[in-house]
Structure formats: C-alpha cells, structure tokens
Amino acid sequence: MDKISVLYLTLYGAKVGGGEIQYEYLIKGLDRKRFHPIVICPSKGDLVESLLSEGIPTHILKLPRWLHVQSILTKRLAVQRIVQFAKKADINLIHSDYRMNPYMLAVSRELSIPNVVHVRSKMRENHAKYYSLKQASSVISIGHRYRDALIQDGVPEEKIEIIFDAVDISKFKPKKSKENVLVQEYAPNAKVLVGFVGRIELAKRQLDFLRIVKNILSSGREAHFFVIGDIYSKRYHYKLKAFCNENELNPYVTFTGRLSNMPAVLASLDFLLTLSGGSVMIEAMSCGIPVIFATSADPLKLHIVQHNETGIVVSKTSLNSATKAAIDLIDNPNLRSTFGIAGRQRVETYFSVTQMIQKTEGIYQQLGNR
C-alpha cells in the first residue's frame, strides 16, 4: 500500500509552547512505512532544526493568521501558495491547529483530500464558526471539556476524537539524585521551589502568580519562585518587574527566561502552579511533581490533574484559593510526595507518546481509506 503523505502546518517555527512540542512528538514518531510527513513552518527556529535533523522535509512558507488579516487579496494569495505547494508535493491529508483550518479547507477542496483539525484550548465565542470547523473531516480535541464546547458550537460529535497530549516519559522523569539545577544556578539557600511556566504575556497571568507569591510570603512561608518562559510582551514583562520592585519580591522571585533543559528544571521543582494549563502539567507530573491548576472547568471533567490525587484544582477566579493550595503544599512535603508519585503513575497510564501517535495514525488511516 502507498504511503499517506501528511502535510502539517505549524503556527511557529520554534518550540514556543506545548502545541509545537506535541507536533514534534507526533511527526517524528509516525510510522514511516505507512506515512510520509511534510511540514510547513512560518519561520525558522529550533522546531524546524529538530525536524530537519530527522530528515523530515520542512519548508518555510509564511501563511498569515486568518483572523489577523483583513485584506481579502492577502488571504487569496496565501491560499494560492499553499494549494500550489500541496499539489506539487502530492499531499494526501493535511493536519494543523484550528487557526489554520481555512487554509486546510482550501487545500482539501482543491485536491479532494481530508483535513484534520487540532483543538488544544477553549476557543473564543464564534471561532468555531469563523474557522469553519464544521467542514473539517476530523477534529482532535485534547480533552473532554474542549470536545463538549465544540459540540455546543455546532461541530458534529461524530467528527470529534479525544486524544490527550503526551510526554516523553523517558526524558521527563523524577530526579534520582540530590542534584537540583535550580538551586545550583539561582537559589542556593531555597527550601521549597515553586515554578510557573509559560510565555510572558498577559494571557498566561504571571501578574496574578506574583500576587499569589506576595500572599504566600505575607503568611510567613519560606519559598523561592521561578517564572520560566520567553518574553513575548516587553510591556507586560516591565509591569511584572515593577510589581516585584514595589512589593520587595526580588529576593524571592527569579525570572529565568526560556530554559532548554526543561526535564531537569521541572524535576528540580517542589511543585508547579499554573493559571493557564497546558502540556507542561503533564511534563511536571511525569517528573513526579504535583500541580496546582487554576481553572474555570468542572474538576470532574479534567483529564490531567486529578484533584487531591495528583495535585490541587482551584477556581480560576480565586487567588485566595490558589494561595491556600500553595501554602498547603509548602507545609506538607509528604503530601507533595504522595501527589508526585500518583502523578507519575497517571502519566505512564494515559499520556505516553506511543498512545498519542497510534491514535492519531488511526484517524489518518481511517480518513485515507474513505
């Protein structure tokens, strides 16, 4: 049987977030006897370099975000470029984030091939309509709550498959020695290390994290706090630094920027606190690190952090609840250990890269046989 040529459209050429890392896992891990991956990235970066190092055809082609561009002519020219590329490459199937779906639909119509849309977060109101998700051949949701939201927005339930994000459990694993890269590099006298990971931008809510830090320190607890991630908004970063200066947090807070050794970094934490979620929660749990997750979702519908089993789930709107949860973990090393062990076991059971790849390949095969 001929291989299925799959074209991937990425939002970035660098591994700026969990989505790009998930595509890297998937594309590199595909069964090359059955599938031939080809990738288009909008710019150069470490994702491009990583894929090329594996011999995966990876091309630079800038496709503007569909809702960011008002010019019909600009969109039309971008559509023509991607259609011409797909024809020349003899593509059989196309897969990307939902924000690229208008481009994928254009290719699907022109070449009469299926497309797969990936939804990794809750979309804004009417975005399912704007991006024409009903017309997708298949929609992959990384969780039940995102699937439910898609159904409410009119996407046919039979088109939606739930495939959890994954982690390389051979790389992200509990540290076996007392070596702690964060203590060695940044905080030699720290007793408890708390991490917050994400691009520095308003949506990630680092300022709220710093407010929680202030509350924790006001309670008399001793800990050191790490804000880990690239600066995407210089204005927001300036605001964060100003908050630290005004509230005398500088001795207790370290802005590390982006770090390349995330398995060792996460394994060095005592716990992770996140106000936006993402696959970093799986990575932390794989390292045996408990997670505090602030969310508006029903805790019973969460598939990663299990409340009072692998971490603590609190209300997204209550900084006091997140503060209390953090204080509980700072005060209770045995609880941190219990949550950490359970988190690693959950990742091994539900979030392996092998499972994610095999389920996605199953969708490709099903669509390819139609």
Q: Is residue 29 within a helix (H) or strand (E), and if so which, with residue range?
A: helix 18-29
- Specify the pLDDT at position 137: 96
What's the pTM value of the predicted model, to 2 decimals?
0.83
Question: Is residue 41 helix, strand or coil?
Answer: strand
Q: What is the pLDDT of residues 30-86, one digit of tens each?
A: 999 999 999 999 999 999 999 999 999 999 998 888 887 777 888 889 999 999 999
Identify the band that residue 9 occupies on the pLDDT scale cut at 50, 70 and 90.
Answer: very high
Q: Residue 165 pLDDT more than 80?
A: yes
Q: What is the pLDDT of residues 176-195, one digit of tens each?
A: 766 788 888 888 888 899 99
Q: What is the pLDDT averaged over residues 186-213?
A: 94
- Specify the pLDDT at position 1: 56
Domains 4-166+352-368 and 181-350 share a fold: yes
- Specify the pLDDT at position 303: 84
| CATH entry 3.40.50.740 includes domain 181-350 | no
Q: Which residues contact 51 (CB under 8 A, 6 or more apart)?
A: 24, 27, 28, 39, 58
Domain ranges of the chain: 4-166+352-368, 181-350
Across all residues in the chain, what is the average pLDDT? 93
- Specify the pLDDT at position 71: 79
Strand order in the sheet with 138-141: 58-60, 35-41, 4-9, 93-97, 115-119, 138-141, 160-162
Q: Residue 18 pLDDT more than 60?
A: yes
Q: Which fold has domain 4-166+352-368?
A: Rossmann fold (3.40.50)
Most confident of 1-5, 72-76, 223-227: 223-227
- Specify the pLDDT at position 185: 85
**CB–CB of 103/65 below 8 Å?**
no
Handedness of CA 103, 109, 115, 119 (dihedral sign): positive
- Specify the pLDDT at position 69: 74
- Specify the pLDDT at position 128: 87
- Specify the pLDDT at position 149: 87
Q: Residue 144 pLDDT more than 90?
A: no
Q: What is the pLDDT averaged over residues 164-178?
A: 87
Residue from 218, 345, 222, 337 nearest 286 by CA: 345
- Specify the pLDDT at position 241: 97
User: Mean pLDDT lowest for which of 49-53, 295-299, 314-318, 322-326?
Assistant: 295-299
Q: What is the pLDDT of residues 80-137, one digit of tens each?
A: 999 999 999 999 999 999 999 999 999 999 999 999 999 988 788 888 888 999 999 9
- Specify the pLDDT at position 308: 95
Q: Residue 298 pLDDT more than 80?
A: no
Q: Is residue 295 within a helix (H) or strand (E), and if so which, with residue range?
A: strand 291-295
